[in-house]
Amino acid sequence: MEILMENKYEENKYIDISKQDESCIITCAIRYCLGRQTYMPSLITDCLSSRIPFMTDGCLIAAQRDIDEYFRLEEKSEHKSFDDILTTWVDFRKKIIDEIEKRNLHY
């Protein structure tokens, strides 16, 4: 993954991010968004959906587990998330599960 950084003193620069760093950033972004009642879950899941085939096995499994835990907590919560946010996570989880099954991962 490369991130474009603009510097007012130099032309555009790219920062090269390792696969391990990318997995950490993805996991943090997902965890940040889980439970949020804003535009952020939709923004992040839309952005990450195209990255799913390139995610590490561990990143996929962590994402599935985090989303599953969010659903378990949501069931017990008195303050339910909006339906569109839940749908966002259901759809994203389905894409993750599809990739996990495609790779024949078992955990």
Q: pLDDT band for position 51 (50/70/90)?
A: very high
Q: What is the pTM of this model?
A: 0.81
Question: What one-character-per-residue DSSP string does 17-38 give?
Answer: --HHHHHHHHHHHHHHHTT--S
Task: State the pLDDT at residue 102.
Answer: 96
CB 57, CB 105: distance < 8 Å: yes
Q: What is the pLDDT of residues 52-81, one digit of tens each?
A: 999 999 999 999 999 999 999 998 887 777
Mean pLDDT of the chain: 88
Q: What is the pLDDT of residues 1-23, one digit of tens each?
A: 555 555 555 555 666 778 889 99
Largest Cα span, the chain: 52
The alpha carbon of 37 is separated from its chain's Cα centroid by a whole number of angstroms, namely: 16
